[in-house]
Amino acid sequence: MILFNNRYISNYKIIFIVIDTAFLVASVAIGHYLRFGWNGYLGLLQHLLGRGFFFVLIFQISLYYFELYDLRIIRDSSKFGPRFIHSITATLIVLMISYYMLPNLYLGRGVLLFTVTCATAAMFFWRIIYRLVVKGKQLNERIIILGTGDFAREIAREIQDRGDSGFELIGHIDDEKAEEGEA
* Burial (CB count within 10 angstroms: exposed 0-12, middle 13-18, buried 19+), residue 163: middle
- Which pLDDT band holds residue 117 (cuts at 50, 70, 90)? very high
- Could you give the number of structural domains in the chain? 2
DSSP 20-65: HHHHHHHHHHHHHHHHHGGGGHHHHHHIIIIIHHHHHHHHHHHHHH
In a domain, 90, yes or no: yes
Say how far apart CA 183 and CA 178 lie, in whole Å.
7
Q: Which residue has the higher pLDDT, 158 or 176?
A: 158
Q: What average pLDDT does this structure show over 60-75?
A: 86
Say how many residues make up the chain.
183
In a domain, 132, yes or no: yes
In a domain, 68, yes or no: yes
Whether 112 and 162 share a structural domain? no
Task: Write out pLDDT tens, residues 2-20.
Answer: 666 666 677 777 888 899 9
pTM: 0.72
Task: Write out pLDDT tens, residues 13-62.
Answer: 788 889 999 999 999 888 888 887 777 566 666 666 778 889 999 999 99
Q: Does the pLDDT at position 66 exceed 80?
A: yes
Average per-residue pLDDT for the chain: 80
In a domain, 146, yes or no: yes
Whether 97 and 148 share a structural domain? no
* Domain that residue 157 falls in: 141-173
Q: Does the pLDDT at position 159 exceed 90?
A: no
